[in-house]
Structure 1
Amino acid sequence: MLNLERLRTLDALARHGSVSGAADGLHVTTSAVSQQMAKLEREIGQPLLARNGRGVRLTDAGRLLADHAARIISQVELAQADVEAHRGRAVGELRIGAFPTAMRGLLPAALTALRADHPDLRARVREQEPEEAMAAVVRGDLDLALAIDWHNKRMPVPAELDRAHLLDDAADIAVPAGHPLAGRSGTSCISLAEFAADEWISWNEGQFCHEWLVFTLRGLGVEPRITHIAEEHHTQLAFVAAGLGVCVTPRLGRGPVPAGVRLLPVSDGVRRHVYAVWRADAARRPSVQAGVAALRAAASRPGPAH
């Protein structure tokens, strides 16, 4: 009889395209992946992997079995969801992916509530950008993900996923204390168009937030001068404090602002929409429902995002 965990390993290899990718997705070592595949090949009696340069590829038999594995795993997960829903208790493991500011601003309170209200539910959290986290939910590598889009640019959500709005996260412009507009901190709102001559500090190229910044500034007739790239908001603020440019800084999970930085509220209504996503076929699972409820409660608490 075929072993389910070995089929999961084969499915991960097919989805990720490499041993290291499968190992990361399964949270195991590359040697564990290789061992599981060697055992599966002995069970099947024919090779499932072939060398491909420095990596590996699935053989014809490997692709055939991987297609069956994906369907088997989907049915097993559906059965687990039905059994959990029938039992009516949030138990087992809940795997959550969240972007950095949500990790700081929402997850501590949500996880504390889950631990208190559902002691038999074990939450595991992974820091991940929204696009990657949503793809992991679609694949079944995560149960829940926190995602964002912006007031003027929506992020596509795969059809297989349901979502729940958690909060709207206002954003400010961070400028050096010596900036000509710094004196307007804490008073009237300012337009992004007023920073046409400034150098910008942005997120990594290719990330949704970087694309949003370029899209928004160009929509205001401003060709952005992006000089520095930094993924973490705290790093961006450190660059602002050093007088190296300006940046957009959302309030969720922002924490203390460095000395030498002034925050300017934006008149353009700049804000992010933060929401939770999960697979539609897992909507009845008590663990998913408990996770969404805890995130909603954490989002409703007074804080810097409101």
Structure 2
Amino acid sequence: MRHVPPIDALELLRAVARLGSVSAAARETGCTQQSGSARLRSIERTLDLELLTRSPRGVALTDAGELVVAWADDVLAAAERFAAGVETLRGESSRELSVAASQTVAGHLLPRWLLAFRARQLADGRTPTEVRLVTANSEQTADLVRAGAVDLGIVESPDIPEDLSSTTVADDVLVLVTTPDGPWAARTSVTLEEVAATPLIAREDGSGTRRAWESTVRKRLGGTPVEPALVLSTSAAIRSAVASGLAPAVLSAHVVADDLALGRLRRIAIDGPAISRPVSALWRGTPRDLRPTSRELLEAATA
């Protein structure tokens, strides 16, 4: 077994293969770029193989590197099963897992992830983990993780705290909605400039939805949207306010799916690329500090 690299080194190699960057892979796996580069060179020395080609544009896998990463997936999966098995022996796999999630995630994504998570554990003959859910906005979720009040946080915000570990588990798209006979209803699309200059109904500061919208306007237009017509603390309240004809809003496509299907609201296309945002999991410590039960839940989410 002396030619098998350490688990953390294989995790780093797999991240490099996915991201195409040593620095990005090092950040994801919780080490410095210098340490990551040294770890990769160590793998190549251990195996006596060239696994990566390096250029100013980044790194790419050699043919041997492609094979090693494929084999590493099997080793890492076995390591994760080993960790989950040890947790089972300790009686920890059935412990409560506390999760804080922003409203969009809690209401529209997490339920099906939890069903898949439970199904996996039952299929393995294990007692399902009891999950305690706390709903908060993205900023509050990060604070709960930071304080150790929850094991895992899931947010849909472009602003990921640098003091927490994170990984992207899904993507979400923001859409512009109004009433069927409201502003812009007769048009097929509007410009981003028009929407940014229109007072909308918005979530509170700290919400991932509002942050993603304002971040998009800053990046694409170099400015900020006008002040909202009304600020409400829940997506459900915003949907009702839009349906009443008060003003349009920019919300997650998941949140308004039923309203659009029922004809209660109408989606108006915004010219240009879709406004998307990552759905990210947050936890304290490094990637190696992610509990096996938390990792299982994230695997169910990405599957």
TM-score (norm: length of structure 2): 0.60
| Structure 1 alignment gaps of length 5 or more | 1-79, 298-306
- Could you tell me how far 1:260 is from its partner in structure 2? 4.5
Q: Bigger CA drift: 92-101 or 81-90?
A: 81-90
The answer to whether the 8 A contact 1:192-1:268 is kept is: no
The residue aligned with 1:242 is 244
The answer to whether the 8 A contact 2:102-2:138 is kept is: yes
Distance 1:203 1:163 in 2: 24
Aligned partner (choices 279, 295, 298) of residue 292 of structure 1: 298
| 1:272 corresponds to 2:277 | yes
* C-alpha spacing 1:136/1:222, structure 2 compared with 1 (3 Å): closer
Distance 1:274 1:196 in 2: 23
Distance 1:133 1:207 in 2: 10
What pairs up with 1:223-242 in 2 under 5 angstroms?
A: 223-242=225-244
The answer to whether the 8 A contact 2:139-2:206 is kept is: no
Distance 2:88 2:290 in 1: 6
- Give the match's secondary structure for 2:186: helix
Distance 1:251 1:106 in 2: 12
Amino acid at match of 1:115: R
What pairs up with 1:3-42 in 2 under 5 angstroms?
A: none
Amino acid at match of 1:272: R
What pairs up with 1:147-166 in 2 under 5 angstroms?
A: 147-150=155-158, 155-159=159-163, 161-166=164-169
- Could you tell me how far 1:244 is from its partner in structure 2? 0.9
Cα offsets for 1:140-166 (capped at 9, x unmatched): 21111101224xxxx13233x322211
Amino acid at match of 1:148: E
| 1:129 corresponds to 2:129 | no
- Could you tell me how far 1:274 is from its partner in structure 2? 0.5
- Could you tell me how far 1:125 is from its partner in structure 2? 0.9
| Structure 2 alignment gaps of length 5 or more | 1-82, 122-126
The answer to whether the 8 A contact 2:99-2:153 is kept is: yes
The residue aligned with 2:192 is 192
- Give the match's secondary structure for 1:195: helix
Aligned partner (choices 267, 272, 287) of residue 263 of structure 1: 267
The answer to whether the 8 A contact 1:193-1:222 is kept is: no
Identity %: 25
The residue aligned with 1:93 is 96
- Could you tell me how far 1:98 is from its partner in structure 2? 0.6
- Give the match's secondary structure for 1:199: coil
- Give the match's secondary structure for 1:280: coil
Distance 1:292 1:223 in 2: 34
The answer to whether the 8 A contact 2:97-2:132 is kept is: yes
* C-alpha spacing 1:284/1:145, structure 2 compared with 1 (3 Å): closer
Cα offsets for 1:173-195 (capped at 9, x unmatched): 012222352133xxx55322123
The residue aligned with 1:138 is 146
Cα offsets for 1:58-97 (capped at 9, x unmatched): xxxxxxxxxxxxxxxxxxxxxx999639869733121111
Calculate the aligned-residue CA RMSD, in Å.
Answer: 3.1
- Could you tell me how far 1:208 is from its partner in structure 2? 4.9
Distance 1:288 1:260 in 2: 38
The number of equivalent residue pairs is 210
Amino acid at match of 2:205: E
- Could you tell me how far 1:233 is from its partner in structure 2? 1.8
Distance 1:270 1:284 in 2: 30
- Give the match's secondary structure for 2:229: strand
- Could you tell me how far 1:201 is from its partner in structure 2? 0.5
Distance 2:210 2:92 in 1: 41
- Give the match's secondary structure for 1:168: strand
Distance 1:107 1:212 in 2: 20
- Could you tell me how far 1:290 is from its partner in structure 2? 1.0
- Could you tell me how far 1:296 is from its partner in structure 2? 1.7
The answer to whether the 8 A contact 2:183-2:248 is kept is: no
The answer to whether the 8 A contact 1:148-1:273 is kept is: yes
Aligned partner (choices 280, 289, 300) of residue 283 of structure 1: 289
